[in-house]
Structure 1
């Protein structure tokens, strides 16, 4: 759960890095730059290390490269840390230790910094991997996830970092107070890396099971809905949280009615032809979604994909079996 906000402070939404940079690749650099300033504010003497061409597995460093050092590794995993991130985490840690051995210094502590949280399976993997690698190497391994970073950004020493990166009046991505009738910020495209990660998502597996060859628009809808949901949950404006819950109910109700109709019309066909098209078509045309959500058809369709991702719906008759067999 996000840390409580100081009274009068704007919410800290790590999607701001994408909004400011315009894409995930730029968000990675922007997030790393924020970390360098934040860590420098809390740990005087910490400094960023530039890649030229490699960075020795170091993003931010505290200490001297002739003795003991603390290393912070920045990874902009979004919207959550999933199984696909595990190899990158292992490789980053191994690279940092290999560079230390080659260049004559010792890593005392290694800190992974991410702007999101781990899903259950990845959290379990992290706990086991961290304990094993600490025993094997003697290096203290820590995780700074979104809640940890928010807590640090709310410290008095980090006020200038928070203002610069997350306060709309000092360079943040959107006005602090937006008219309730105004739309959300511009939709975001999905970069190649995120698209590849989403290929393993349950909502995509359900679409593939239904025979869909092209799923690019579904990934974009899901991605933008994730940004919308995180923004609402970060801000915790009661009216918007209520509107989000209502929108979820509207989308689910449309799916359930269409699923039952198609299942009755095609009792022998497990693929339930036309189900997805009927559901998203009705969602796009529906006027039942709450105005307070300030979202359009792409977000509405994305909310439906989130329902599928949560294992509450699907696009074939045996959707429950696919959900049960999907990795957590």
Structure 2
């Protein structure tokens, strides 16, 4: 799609195949014996954050090194991403871009989601938009089956007051926990249904989903806990993790009929199973619970 879009607004642009490498070029305009423009595509999603800075620096360095080794010059280097940068990364990009332009004389640009959308709605790119995005010509997107979201019964809500995942939230300063209880309750219903049916593909999907939410939590926990002046209560950890889970639907296996509520609840289940927490000392909070949590530490909710 990107190659067609670039060719629509820059006739003559073409893809470069990796065999085995692509010289740091995804789409090229110009001749590899003279002056060229290079587009580098990076599928970062759902946003570009500080963890992507090394990839960006490496891609630009590879493009410059190959140009010097192969005997051509880069006039413009364009990074293409399907999303936007968060504020700290945008500041880093602006400074890095200005410094590298001074050092190399290469014009550096960013084509983010807004730039790509603006190009797709131009008359020159109408055929690209129709080919990839026209809802009347593209195959219909299948509707994913979703488990219903159930209301939390009052007796169950009271019982969950003593749950370890609620205690972890309280330790992090959370006052309202009703939504978290409902998320946990619905994830428990989903997990029980999967266990009762015993279908291998659903059991595998549940295990994979658990691993995904655990990985999201771990990445964000390390980020927050690793800050020099980190507050032991890690105040931004919970919202960051839950936002990542809600925005990463594409990463979860479609075999599991889980919506956003269920996916968030899966992480509450892991917290209740002493595999995660919301404060820097979460292991101490878990240890204080002994074997009195909602699941007794064995990963199986009470029926």
1:315 paired residue among 270, 278, 290: 278
Q: Is the 8 A contact 1:49 1:61 kept in 2?
A: yes
1:298 paired residue among 247, 250, 262: 262
- Are 2:193 and 1:226 aligned? no
- Secondary structure of 1:71's counterpart equals strand
Structure 1: distance between partners of 2:134 and 2:222: 34
Structure 1: distance between partners of 2:107 and 2:281: 46
Post-superposition Cα deviations, 1:61-93, rounded to whole Å, max 9, x if no partner, equal 000001100000000100000111101100100
Structure 2: distance between partners of 1:59 and 1:100: 14
| Structure-1-length-normalised TM-score | 0.51
Q: Is the 8 A contact 2:130 2:137 kept in 1?
A: yes
Q: 1:303 to 1:110 in 2, by over 3 A?
A: farther
- Secondary structure of 1:65's counterpart equals coil
Could you tell me which residue of structure 2 aligns to residue 201 of structure 1?
220
Deviation at 1:100, TM superposition (A): 0.6
Structure 2: distance between partners of 1:203 and 1:301: 21
Give ranges in structure 2 of 5+ residues lacking alignment. Answer: 148-204, 226-231, 234-239, 251-257, 269-276, 283-303
1:72 paired residue among 26, 35, 39: 39
Give ranges in structure 1 of 5+ residues lacking alignment. Answer: 1-33, 211-217, 230-293, 305-313, 320-328
Q: Which runs of 4+ in 1 moved over 6 A?
A: 187-190, 192-198
Please say which structure displays the higher CA radius of gyration: 2
Structure 1: distance between partners of 2:28 and 2:213: 28
RMSD between aligned residues: 4.0
Deviation at 1:168, TM superposition (A): 3.1
Q: 1:227 to 1:161 in 2, by over 3 A?
A: farther
**What pairs up with 1:23-38 in 2 under 5 angstroms?**
34-38=1-5
Q: 1:183 to 1:193 in 2, by over 3 A?
A: closer
Q: 1:145 to 1:172 in 2, by over 3 A?
A: farther
Structure number with greater CO (CA < 8 Å, separation at least 6) is: 1
Q: 1:102 to 1:303 in 2, by over 3 A?
A: same
2:101 paired residue among 116, 120, 134: 134
1:153 paired residue among 96, 111, 120: 120
- Secondary structure of 1:56's counterpart equals coil
Structure 1: distance between partners of 2:217 and 2:132: 27
Aligned residue pairs total 196
